[in-house]
Structure 1
Amino acid sequence: MTFVTGEHTTYYKPICKSNQLICGYGHIALITGWTVKQTLVKHLSPKEFAVIGNLYSPTRGITPLIRNLLANPHVRFVVILNATQEDKNAGACDCLLDFFRNGFQEGKSDTGRKCWLINSETKGYIDFEIDAKALDILRNSIRWEEVKTISEAVSRVKFFSQNKNVEAWGNPLEFKEVVTISHVLPGSRYGHRIEGQTIAETWIKILHKIRKTGTIRNTEYGEWQELIDIMAIVTDEPSDFYFPEPNYLSIERQNLQNYIEQMLSDLSSQEGVEYTYGKRLRSWFKQDQIEQVIKKLTLDINSSRAVMSLWDVHDHEGNDNPPCLNHIWLRVVENELSLTATFRSNDMFSAWPANAMGLRALQQHILDNINQRASYSLKMGPLITVSQSAHIYSDCWEYADRLIDEQYAKICQKRDFNDPSGSFVITLQNNTIIVEHTTPGTGEIVNCYTGKSARKLYQQIASNCPSLQVEHAMYLGTELQKAEIALSNSQTYLYIQDQPLSILTKAIKPVG
């Protein structure tokens, strides 16, 4: 089989993630890493390339790339643009280069599934269902080059495209793909509150919530599972950040500082990188918004106007990559500085932990500056993120499920029984169930319910306290039912809260 440029062309036919690729008629694959692919396509004609696409993850992105190359054997050249700080952090392009350089070996993925493990310092997988001989043929049949700039990438593509007669290395190959099946439980689609002490704990709870009740949707970016408006509250993340051992977060500690700099600093523009959050906050609108909110709260600690906006009205006009983070609001309540951030779209598996850590660093930066400039001793309050489209991509489901299986039960066992809605003291007095509602911490009585029916009592409590934690509400139902049983059988049972029903001594009949 011969591929010939000119009138006789072969169109690139991807079998994976076709809606995320720009396809042409050439014999060169241009891998752009984290650089926006539209930045390169405007310098090339469709006859000069076979496909242009991003590569974000070494564990999830290389397999579909390899599957597509095997299905399109007329592609004989691969140009890999490894240019940005994000590429360095992710390591996906480095791992792909190591696939061509060093090959692969049999191994296991983080989920324990058998896979081809790329011989690289960066962990990268290829599906085990792809034949090893086919992978070796591909490695030996493709000429690859690494480039560091957009201009160099364009130049090399144009150079390789001058080859007029390029023979395909074989016939198109396709291999079985294992699909993760989701079993979705019924649940509310809109508005979800999740709270944890650390980012790691909160993240596992988020993954569990989405995987159990999220709606599965096909989108222009592929299949994902989604909930609308997840409000995640992180209460006690340490200043140096908590990384579990071994680390199961989707960010490594050694990459964190680079991400924080992108959040806090007005980094110089780089072609192919449309924006950073720091640039949007520091200079995009000709104002340093971070400095503005510091000054605002320094002068008026009670201000509700400490707002930063990242959405530009021009983002509606032809911007294929507008910012996901759109709005940040800071507020001081009872000497605590909280930060609330709103994301229009949020990749909860791959991006949320880094997003949360970057925002927490921003919160700390603002707090430190306010305390330094004024006679305040503010403390760090909670970090709140509102993720409007909170989703997990289908190629992350297996990894998310493994983390849920390994970590969620452990997190649920860490009970502190501190419900912000307060506590309830249940007693039996004068042939009546008495329920005293007390404040958390001080135990001040704020309400009192009386009656003989557990059902009527819990209905009243539920009506007045709609934010009761689920386990607390179920506990109350259990205790109220015990109290009603004891009340109805007062000659037989004694009710004491948090203890099994006691059988009264006089109710025990003598034997014989």
Structure 2
Amino acid sequence: MSPMSLKYFAQNVEIGNQASEVGLVTLWTKKELILKHITKEHFAFIGQLYSKSTGISAIVRNCLYNKKIRHIVVIGADLSGSGQALIGLFERGIGEDHQITTDRGGAIDAEIPLASIENVRKNVRVHDLRSMTDYSTLGAFLAKLNGTKQGPYGEPEIFPEHVPLPVSTYPSYGSGFLVEDDFISTAWLKVLRHVMRFGTEKPTSYHDRQKELLNLMVVIHKEDPDNPKIEPYVGFTKEDLFRYYPLVVSAASVSTIEYTYGMRLMNHKGIDQIEHIIRMLSHEPHSRRAVGVTWSVAEDSTSVMSPCLILVQAIVQNKKLFLTAYFRSNDMFEAWPKNSFALRKLQTMIADRLKTGVGSLTTISSSAHIYERHFEKAAEIIAKHKPEWKMFDERGKFIIYVKEKEIYVQHQNNNDEVIAEYRGKNASSLINQLVDAVVLADVSHALYLGAELEKAEIALRTGTVYHQDLPLELP
């Protein structure tokens, strides 16, 4: 075995000096950008880190496989929090459940013994250089680390590959799914359920596997991005979210990364598309051309770093500003929650400028996926946190009563005005009428009405008095 060989994700890293005891982790910043400022003599390996779980587990496995590594330098843009999770692992360790103590979204493979992970923490030092923007001094820093040789701290260790929980896919059309909720955190629970239950399991372009739904639409009605309703299970805090907002709602550039959504929307080749949207809707409130795009044909058609968010469209309706965002690709586990909060913030900013109310936010994800590395965590969250399924929807409410040997159903709007009436002698005929009228949008509401109509039919057959929402008093 070569003293500098890496066993995990070796195809994704650059191997340097076999005598070096230093590894570089560049997070979301391209390693090629860092390599412009240093030579291969400065490091043993250099690679990027996107994932809090699979990526960090691979680093731990490689450190145990090659115990000559004594320093891990963390540098670059930490867009997903993977760098913070890695640093947290070395500073605070992990719990008995293999979860990183400082990060609810980060976990180390259960196949690696806790004692071995602790051995890495004791013998490998992590250096946090995420704030460094001038890489001209990086070479000197690495040279200093390489100046003190410590040697290996033990023999190589190899552990069984991580085996994710078995998953199954339920039958569906495979495309065209709808999730609605007032708030983003609780909508995310429903999103996880949809993708894990109905997603097609398939390979990715990143030597990984995924579960993927096509064209998942999520509609958020009431979220306030300035006072966000963040549940603990989403894995980030209000402060984390506010630090993320500028990547979407500001044109400010971020050193070490090529672009942000905010840069593409507000300062791509000098064009501020959001300002254009505001001007257009100010002069023409009914316009359907208030659109901002992030995709640059010349730059993105052949780029592996092309934007996932492709388009936003703002429409004013009933004196409210509605925003629709289209994603070509969307990591629903790690990216969608923050994406949605930031888009909601962008929506409120536009609405404030237009002096309108704020309508719903809709995200449409062409490829809505969860990576295999998150299957277990997603399953755990789904098992522990049940979303509240409402028994009514915005299409109205229904009053059921029995009169003159028939069952009546009154359809009322949100102002309690009767807008339609249906009647029949049995539950099935009324269910068919309601389905044909396309007046039901929520599954739990439909199930509730089906149960109530069956009760009404039993009451009609037995001569029992029927009261909606109350149990029958059968003779």
Shorter-chain TM-score category? 0.7 to 0.9
Q: Secondary structure at the match of 1:426?
A: strand
For residues 467 and 38 of structure 1, the distance between their equivalents in structure 2, rounded to whole angstroms, comes to: 54
Amino acid in structure 1 at the alignment position of 2:205: E
2:182 pairs, out of 197, 206, 212, with 197
Amino acid in structure 1 at the alignment position of 2:240: N
Unaligned regions of 5+ residues in structure 2, if any?
none
Other-structure match for 1:366:
350
1:494 pairs, out of 449, 459, 465, with 465
Deviation string 1:311-330 (CA, Å, 9 cap, x unpaired) is 11124443111111111011
Other-structure match for 1:474:
447
For residues 46 and 501 of structure 1, the distance between their equivalents in structure 2, rounded to whole angstroms, comes to: 80
Q: Secondary structure at the match of 2:361?
A: strand
**Cα displacement (A) at 1:484:** 3.0
**Cα displacement (A) at 1:269:** 5.2
CA contact (8 A) 1:196 1:234 kept: yes
Cα separation, partners in 2 of 1:251 and 1:131, compared to 1, 3 Å: closer
- Aligned 1:134-283 pairs, distance under 5 A: 134-135=116-117, 138=120, 145-147=127-129, 148-149=132-133, 151-152=135-136, 155=139, 171-176=155-160, 177=162, 179-221=164-206, 222-244=208-230, 247-268=232-253, 270=255, 272-283=256-267
1:107 pairs, out of 76, 92, 95, with 95
Other-structure match for 1:130:
112
* TM-score, normalization by structure 2: 0.85
Cα separation, partners in 2 of 1:178 and 1:150, compared to 1, 3 Å: farther
**Is 1:29 aligned to residue 20 of structure 2?**
no
Other-structure match for 1:333:
317
For residues 422 and 229 of structure 2, the distance between their equivalents in structure 1, rounded to whole angstroms, comes to: 45
CA contact (8 A) 1:419 1:440 kept: no
For residues 33 and 439 of structure 2, the distance between their equivalents in structure 1, rounded to whole angstroms, comes to: 50
**Cα displacement (A) at 1:458:** 1.4
**Cα displacement (A) at 1:225:** 1.9
CA contact (8 A) 2:25 2:48 kept: yes
Q: Secondary structure at the match of 1:494?
A: coil
Other-structure match for 1:401:
379
For residues 336 and 470 of structure 1, the distance between their equivalents in structure 2, rounded to whole angstroms, comes to: 27
- Greater shift in the superposed pair: 28-37 or 433-442: 433-442
**Cα displacement (A) at 1:38:** 4.1
Number of matched pairs: 467
Amino acid in structure 2 at the alignment position of 1:498: D
Other-structure match for 1:12:
6
For residues 456 and 466 of structure 1, the distance between their equivalents in structure 2, rounded to whole angstroms, comes to: 15
- Aligned 1:57-136 pairs, distance under 5 A: 57-58=51-52, 61-73=55-67, 76=69, 78-84=71-77, 86=78, 90=81, 92-94=82-84, 96-97=86-87, 102=91, 104=93, 107-108=95-96, 113=97, 115=98, 117=100, 125-127=107-109, 129-132=111-114, 134-135=116-117
Amino acid in structure 2 at the alignment position of 1:493: T
Other-structure match for 1:350:
334
Deviation string 1:198-246 (CA, Å, 9 cap, x unpaired) is 111211121122222222222123222221111111111125233446x
Q: Secondary structure at the match of 1:297?
A: helix
Q: Secondary structure at the match of 1:294?
A: helix
**Cα displacement (A) at 1:440:** 3.3
For residues 63 and 41 of structure 1, the distance between their equivalents in structure 2, rounded to whole angstroms, comes to: 24
Other-structure match for 1:7:
none
Q: Secondary structure at the match of 2:234?
A: coil
Q: Secondary structure at the match of 2:329?
A: strand
For residues 228 and 156 of structure 1, the distance between their equivalents in structure 2, rounded to whole angstroms, comes to: 49
Other-structure match for 1:464:
437
Unaligned regions of 5+ residues in structure 1, if any?
4-9, 372-377
Instruction: Indicate the structure (1 or 2) with the bigger Cα radius of gyration.
Output: 1
Identity among equivalent positions (%) equals 32
For residues 40 and 317 of structure 2, the distance between their equivalents in structure 1, rounded to whole angstroms, comes to: 57
For residues 188 and 443 of structure 1, the distance between their equivalents in structure 2, rounded to whole angstroms, comes to: 36
**Cα displacement (A) at 1:196:** 1.0
* TM-score, normalization by structure 1: 0.79
Cα separation, partners in 2 of 1:94 and 1:248, compared to 1, 3 Å: closer
CA contact (8 A) 1:432 1:450 kept: yes
**Cα displacement (A) at 1:29:** 3.1
- Greater shift in the superposed pair: 135-144 or 354-363: 135-144
For residues 244 and 158 of structure 1, the distance between their equivalents in structure 2, rounded to whole angstroms, comes to: 40
